Structure 1
């Protein structure tokens, strides 16, 4: 046995892994530092939030054609990618809160309670608590509970029991963050499922709603309806095809037009974040006969298994020192990664490449075998 050779190879492998798992991610997130893109006054103290799109942790429903070994390897690498990034961007960016836009699981709507609880524990290990950081995870996606009339009341109740009610307003940085359960409000056959969500939305029709005293930001799993021939996603979207407007078994790519209009006109948000699609999309919804607009950002998937080449997170900076509604409407530039809505600014932050490390690990392993 050539111990010096083995020691050299061990050091080489450790160096390669350490670089791609710790060093490079650290420098990637350094490029997203808040002060690099915020435009607040120097003395400001904004609220910083990270928005996570569709982690959809891999399970037995993700790749039914794969063998047990292939699926296990996929779970290990995909969980590590989410967990590693979660801890490093939390350390580098030091957010005040983290908001998930749904689809926490992949087959969550399919599992019995025994399996679901195991996956719930696994999810909490992947996205472990960070001291001083508030995590808002109560928005369900169609992969968590189903969509509309396809939702099972028992599984809907289970999600709410463990993650909390989505239909609520959380005040962050002098902004009303409106967390909406748009998969449940789309259910018309079972009033037990949609009643709470419908009542919550109707409360914003009342001009005296106290949450309307602050600028509002809506968080929804399902994107709002759009006319794709007029409302294009912009150059930062990976797919060159138009945003899909379709429906199928347990999914709908956009909300119904009437529901979308109620959300925009009753809540009148300055900004809206959605998920589900996995790719980035920035459009504007007209208000007041097109005098004002609401920016909607569909957040990219944060997972290496999300079907996008460059996973990302969305950064949200909130600064409203006047503690009131801001009627300033900014003309957005779709060519940049930043969207400005007066008292709220958001920035597209790309995650480290999920596949580049795997290529280098493979090359290093092949070299090690050849050299030995």
Structure 2
């Protein structure tokens, strides 16, 4: 009776391949993808910095929109939960790659939580918010600033929106409108959903912007106060909702598909109105605008609304779940200068594209899984066949019966015979041997299915371990 050992070379080779794949695609590819994405320097825009004032590096993050059980109403509960786990892990890896750039300041451009505006108990909101903070952890203290999105505080009146959405937002993320001085610039954090909501009320009463009495603590009041301050530092506007642009305007080569078109739907508005955009730009007069909401990258220059051209960049979402194959974040550098104009801007920015997580799953993991399974299947079949032939050859000739019965008449439930390529061949396909049971002819044989499962588990345990380690690491 012979025993054929398991094919350790095949298992070890597959282990090595999967260890390399798991390490690269679960960790290193995220760092490598943004390694060439560097902070813009003053030389990029031809400026000399003001003595004694340092430049500022600002990380812009748009629409992480972490999911909850309401995000996919038509999806099974288990699939929704699995989607949350996968997307949360992707956000953690993207966030780790982003903060590795060591920014001085971080600005979130709204829609932090997909269901932040929905009706829920305080306990559920606290748990939801804790999940957000657990994903976006910092290794060292860095100032964080947020602007509200329509998924955070709501837009328009809907029964499913919580009447406490704004209060919850301000108590957890900060004021709806705010301003900050950084490197001789004024950063304007603007509540665009609140502005749109007040604009609906103004238009409903048929009043112009000059006639309208701004709501106390609202966006219009904030804009007028900002204008009256007459701050000489060049302003930079951060808004969740993009500004108006003519329908069909191209967004540049970094856009994945389509363009931004004006439109309104359930709890959202694609752009500000044309007159509202003109009013906003004339009051703030920003040197550049950064917006979110659209999830994809878009670069547009507003030329006809005010006297000087204003460049607007719509920042890509950081999440893989927002219908973009390659998420991204934006790096913004501010350079203190004695003067500024359109020829000598005092800022520079660059988008940093992240890996295509869905492409990794579909184009790397699934094909490699199928190929590995095929290799394991072939190796197990060959090993089982060799074991069968080895046992047959080990039987002494003197002990073999002189007259062998026809194979078809053998009543052996642990074996079956089929005609293959003109010869009748015997295969161990009985239930006992398929699952590794002890057959009547050889107690040490393993069935074909048992060999496959055993080898597959041996191969999988290493990449699964690496996956768990990476998940724990990015979650710390």
Matches within 5 A, 1:267-306: 267-286=284-303, 290=307, 292-306=308-322
Task: Tell whether the 8 Å contact from 2:39 to 2:332 is kept in structure 1 after alignment.
Answer: no
Partner Cα separation in structure 2 for residue 251 and residue 30 of structure 1: 35
Could you report, residue by residue, the CA deviation over 1:216-264 in whole angstroms, capped at 9, with x for unpaired residues?
10101111112235x5323332223x42111122111111223211210
SS for the counterpart of 2:195 is: coil
SS for the counterpart of 2:281 is: helix
- Larger CA Rg, structure 1 vs 2: 2
Going from structure 1 to structure 2, the CA distance change for 1:193 and 1:140 (only over 3 Å counts) comes to farther
Task: Tell whether the 8 Å contact from 1:40 to 1:319 is kept in structure 2 after alignment.
Answer: no
Task: Tell whether the 8 Å contact from 2:297 to 2:313 is kept in structure 1 after alignment.
Answer: yes
Query: What TM-score results when the alignment is normalised by the length of structure 1?
Result: 0.85
- What's 2:67 paired with? 58
SS for the counterpart of 1:95 is: coil
Matches within 5 A, 1:248-263: 248-263=265-280
Partner Cα separation in structure 2 for residue 158 and residue 39 of structure 1: 41
Partner Cα separation in structure 1 for residue 216 and residue 15 of structure 2: 57
Query: What TM-score results when the alignment is normalised by the length of structure 2?
Result: 0.68
- What's 1:87 paired with? 96
Could you report, residue by residue, the CA deviation over 1:270-299 in whole angstroms, capped at 9, with x for unpaired residues?
001111111211112237864x21111111
Q: What 5-or-longer segments of structure 1 have no aligned partner?
A: 331-340
RMSD: 2.8
- What's 2:262 paired with? 245
Partner Cα separation in structure 2 for residue 364 and residue 134 of structure 1: 42
Matches within 5 A, 1:218-229: 218-228=237-247
Matches within 5 A, 1:26-65: 26-34=31-39, 39=44, 45-65=54-74
SS for the counterpart of 2:169 is: helix
Partner Cα separation in structure 2 for residue 233 and residue 141 of structure 1: 21
Matches within 5 A, 1:70-85: 70-85=79-94
Farther off after superposition, 182-191 or 10-19: 182-191
Of 350, 363, 366, which aligns to 1:362? 366
Q: How many pairs were matched up?
A: 351
Could you report, residue by residue, the CA deviation over 1:180-212 in whole angstroms, capped at 9, with x for unpaired residues?
011012223599987432211111332xx15x2
SS for the counterpart of 1:356 is: helix
Matches within 5 A, 1:1-372: 2=6, 4=8, 9-34=14-39, 39=44, 45-91=54-100, 93-112=101-120, 113-137=122-146, 139-150=147-158, 152-188=162-198, 195-206=217-228, 209=229, 212-228=231-247, 231-240=249-258, 242-286=259-303, 290=307, 292-322=308-338, 326-330=339-343, 342-359=345-362, 360-370=364-374, 371=376, 372=455
Tell me by how many angstroms 1:41 deviates: 7.0
